[in-house]
């Protein structure tokens, strides 16, 4: 029996939106502009001293890998050991890239001259482009190879329980920071399924908080269609 659950693709859509946005901001940033560059550095890393901050882009990537390794991979490794060990190796490589990007950006903002920041900015762009290539390939592999394995070996209910365990561990502020990227990245059917399941099971304040977030982040026509379909 093969189910329909997919623990990876919805959150990956949010992460892809983050990667595309980061790429767009980096390649258009004026590194001579100290204030704009400092703002970009904060959004990327949110300072080494507070690297667990909710909106931090590099932190979101790190949390995602940690949750996969803590909740999903231990179960799936029994069915696909070599695939899972390769995906964990990918995570280590992605972490090394993310650390180097954070360090490079940290050094960049310390540069006193515009010329030095511009030169360092070219390098940061290249590092992020390399991260994006590796990250997109990794997520594709999880979706094309691991999702079918999960469907074959775990029921929809078992996978939904794994998702519940991940959500329960997430601090609320970080969860909503990630949802702020994920919700507008979903299509109308995915968003309707998600809101429909919340409507049936979640406490009303949580449904309201997610609905409010959709109202502010999802493209208005798509959100109107979701509300119609779900009846909220
Ligand atoms: Fe992963
Ligand atoms: Fe992933």
Instruction: Tell me the CA–centroid distance for residue 140 and ligand 2, in Å.
Output: 9
Instruction: Return all residues near 178 (Cβ < 8 A) that are at least 6 apart.
Output: 11, 14, 60, 63, 170
Which among 70, 67, 78, 92 is positioned nearest to 146, based on CA atoms? 78
Instruction: Tell me the CA–centroid distance for residue 110 and ligand 2, in Å.
Output: 33
Six token digits for residue 137: 């390939």
207, 231 contact by CB (below 8 A) = no
Instruction: Tell me the CA–centroid distance for residue 62 and ligand 1, in Å.
Output: 9
Average pLDDT in the 98-121 region? 94
Instruction: Tell me the CA–centroid distance for residue 22 and ligand 2, in Å.
Output: 18
Six token digits for residue 168: 């329960």
Largest interatomic CA distance in the chain: 62
Instruction: Tell me the CA–centroid distance for residue 131 and ligand 2, in Å.
Output: 14
Instruction: Tell me the CA–centroid distance for residue 31 and ligand 2, in Å.
Output: 31
Instruction: Tell me the CA–centroid distance for residue 14 and ligand 1, in Å.
Output: 13
Average pLDDT in the 72-83 region? 90
Q: What percent of the chain has pLDDT over 90?
A: 68
pLDDT tens for 115-139 read 999 999 999 999 999 999 999 999 9
Instruction: Tell me the CA–centroid distance for residue 132 and ligand 1, in Å.
Output: 13
Look at residue 79 and tell me whether its pLDDT is greater than 70.
yes
Instruction: Tell me the CA–centroid distance for residue 4 and ligand 2, in Å.
Output: 18
Burial class (CB in 10 A: 0-12, 13-18, 19+), 221: exposed
Instruction: Tell me the CA–centroid distance for residue 92 and ligand 1, in Å.
Output: 10
Six token digits for residue 68: 């996969």
Instruction: Tell me the CA–centroid distance for residue 68 and ligand 2, in Å.
Output: 7
Average pLDDT in the 178-207 region? 92
Look at residue 165 and tell me whether its pLDDT is greater than 90.
no
Look at residue 36 and tell me whether its pLDDT is greater than 80.
yes
9-171, which class in CATH?
mainly alpha
Which among 102, 107, 106 is positioned nearest to 128, based on CA atoms? 102
Q: Which residue has the higher pLDDT, 120 or 202?
A: 120
pLDDT tens for 38-69 read 989 888 876 434 444 556 778 788 888 988 99
Q: What's the whole-model pTM score?
A: 0.91
Look at residue 28 and tell me whether its pLDDT is greater than 80.
yes
Q: Please report, for the chain, the start and end positions of each structural domain, with discontinuous segments joined by +.
A: 9-171, 186-232
How many helices (DSSP H) and strands (DSSP E) are in the chain? 12, 0
Instruction: Tell me the CA–centroid distance for residue 8 and ligand 2, in Å.
Output: 6
pLDDT of residue 49: 40
């Amino acid at each position: 029996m093969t189910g329909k659950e997919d623990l990876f693709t919805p959150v990956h859509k949010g992460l892809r939106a983050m990667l595309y946005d980061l790429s767009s901001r980096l390649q258009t940033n004026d590194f001579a502009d100290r204030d704009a560059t400092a703002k970009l550095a904060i959004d990327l890393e949110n300072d080494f001293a507070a690297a667990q901050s909710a909106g931090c882009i590099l932190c979101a990537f790190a949390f995602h890998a940690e949750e996969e390794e803590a909740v999903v991979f231990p179960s799936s490794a029994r069915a696909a050991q070599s695939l899972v060990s390769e995906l964990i190796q990918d995570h280590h490589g992605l972490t090394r890239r993310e650390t180097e990007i954070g360090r490079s950006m940290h050094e960049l903002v310390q540069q006193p001259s515009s010329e030095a920041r511009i030169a360092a900015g070219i390098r940061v762009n290249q590092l992020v482009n390399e991260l994006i290539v590796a990250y997109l390939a990794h997520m594709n592999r999880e979706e094309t190879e691991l999702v079918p394995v999960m469907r074959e070996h775990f029921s929809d209910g078992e996978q939904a329980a794994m998702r519940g365990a991940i959500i329960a561990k997430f601090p609320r502020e970080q969860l909503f920071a990630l949802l702020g990227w994920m919700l507008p990245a979903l299509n109308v059917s995915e968003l309707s399924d998600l809101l429909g399941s919340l409507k049936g099971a979640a406490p009303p304040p949580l449904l309201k908080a997610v609905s409010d977030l959709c109202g502010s982040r999802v493209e208005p026509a798509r959100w109107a269609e979701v509300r119609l379909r779900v009846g909220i």
